Structure 1
Amino acid sequence: MADLQDELHTLPEAGDHDKAHHAAQAVSRTPDPPIPADADGQADELERARALLAAHPVADGYSGLPWALRHLPWYDLQLGESAVDTDVPRLREGHVGALLWSLHLPEGLAADRAVGATLEQLDLVRSVIAAHPEGLRLARSAGQVIDARNCGRVAVVLGPAAAAALDDSLAILRVLHSLGLRVLTLAGTSWASAAGLTRFGEEVVREMNRLGVLADLSGASDTTVRRTLTLSRTPVLCTRSAARALRPHPDNLPDELLAELGAAKGLCLVPLTAEQTGPSVRDVADHLDHVRAIAGPDSVGLSGTYDSGTAHPQGLADASGYPHLIAELLRRGWPDTDISLLTWGNVQRVLRTADFAARAAQERREPSPVRIAHLDG
């Protein structure tokens, strides 16, 4: 695997980012929708949104970029890359400060390929970060996310990965964690199914808590969600879940689970996809309003789901569109404090809590030697 390049490089000042962006205009992409000429108030709110995001950037809860890049023979994320939704100029324009890079595998991949394919993606991610040290930096903790932001880089947090990547082995979980994995999706295995967590599944959650690996419950059964909320000593994530009351997608959460997630201080990261939230910025804002009302302002975040093969709402086609969404929330009366939690504060809290809980757990608990046959055989 390529070594990470941690050296600090001189970056342009914040005011120079627009110049860098204009220098990359050769990259073809759909421009943001214009602000109506008679909408001075809307223009003011867009400028206010950009100012808020400059202080509290977006921690984007799901990016499918690693799998998208593996099919490209050549790319340059620093200058700009039209073949994908995400590159450094658009991250700068959208005020994205951190990304969770998904290591999910495509449907239909043979089960015996899950471990190897996940390791290949980890290798690719490390190579991509090493090739773009001016814009990206791997972050293994909440503190490293802050360090990356202070150095002008976009922090990359590895995960979620599919639970199938563990091959029913806690030893593989520990190896993946040592390579940087920080989020694991609990769905699609014999030990985290429609029937909920088995005894081995519960041991997986305990070992994740000990390591500081966060549980992603998007796509998990309601029974698995409830049991994990009860069992986990750290907050959980739903990296791609909106409000089922507004749109009946299977990955969206019903109000009762949203309330339980909020009570447990978990985090629902609302995806910017037409399928789950609707075709417009207003539809996305409706879901954010609903999740905030049910789960609370401490339990709602953003999930771009860019480069994951899904259609996005108009005006949010790529990572540069976040200011337009925040401007819509300002028009709806969201206070600055709630927006700062939505974009940055809530993800930081969850990462920080996982770090603290892991240090405490490691003082009282040795690595688990349990195998699936011991509990579920």
Structure 2
Amino acid sequence: MQQPDYKHLLESMDSALIELNDRLEFIYLNPAAEMLLATSNNQLNGRTVEDYCGKKCELQQLARQTLSSGQTITRRELSITMAGDRELTVNLTITALSGERGILLEIHPIGRLYSIAQETVRQEEYAATRLLLRGLAHEIKNPLGGIRGAAQLLEGEFEDQELKSYTEIIINETDRLKRLIDRMIGPRHIPQEHLINIHEISERVVQLIEAEASQGVRVVRDYDPSIPEIRGDSDQLIQAVLNIARNALEAIMEADEEGEIRFVTRIMRNYTIGGQQKDLVVRLTISDTGPGIPRNLQNQVFFPLISSKISGSGLGLSVSQAIVTSHGGIIKFESTRGATSFDILLPL
């Protein structure tokens, strides 16, 4: 009888499986655990639970309890704080491994199903909004073209320079409104896709942000060099990332505080985008330590003309969302005071 392939079984499971030794050092993470912890097996190998989530981490306390007693611990709908102060609701089982000094953690995040449903609803709302905007743009741009043409004809009829200045105002303002409408509906051409390295995209944006940043703003990189190339339009993706990073920079500088902007890349496995599960997804996270997005605006940040900044146009995130959506991806975010992060998720 053929021996079962236990490694394949472990790596196919949806539950996160983590093996720790008697010093609570990470020994093994299956792909679901790597996705949950937002890091790789290699990066955590040899590090302790305390290194990952701090001394007061509840995972560490429960793991020590199982290690000392040898008894299995099960917790349902447990709220735990992960690295980066991420709050997760999970079902957790910790089992002592027989015959060896170590334990096995099985973690099943129950909040993910709710999150998938919410993402699907938001994508449907966003698609409906963009369709409405495109229809409105067409209805508005047609009369704008007529107004501009009439102003040009009038300009040719006037000899008085003062009267010509009025027609120039009409022409300039109709042009400005047309540009605003074009920005609201986002990129109009299909992405010119080719193989690109996500870190080249990130580095282009980092260079621009570092050039614009004040002395008190620090830019940090945390890249996973094993990420393969993806297919995409590099110019569009640079614009999408730049809009998010520039928002982060402006938020810190407007608050007149020292701060940090962090660029992180990771691979996500078995991730659901738009109701479809993807085997591999690239995640680029842009996080900052600024004042955060007001709670009353958080459900609207991807809609045009919504901004918490005094000088903001409210178009940057809308354009970023349009670009990432056209690449088959999504943008997610979390925001509290001192910790805002945007995840750009693109399928491989």
- TM interval, short-chain normalised: under 0.3
- Which is higher, the Rg of structure 1 or of structure 2? 2
Larger strand share, 1 or 2: 2
What is the TM-score when the length of structure 2 is the normalising length?
0.23
What is the TM-score when the length of structure 1 is the normalising length?
0.22
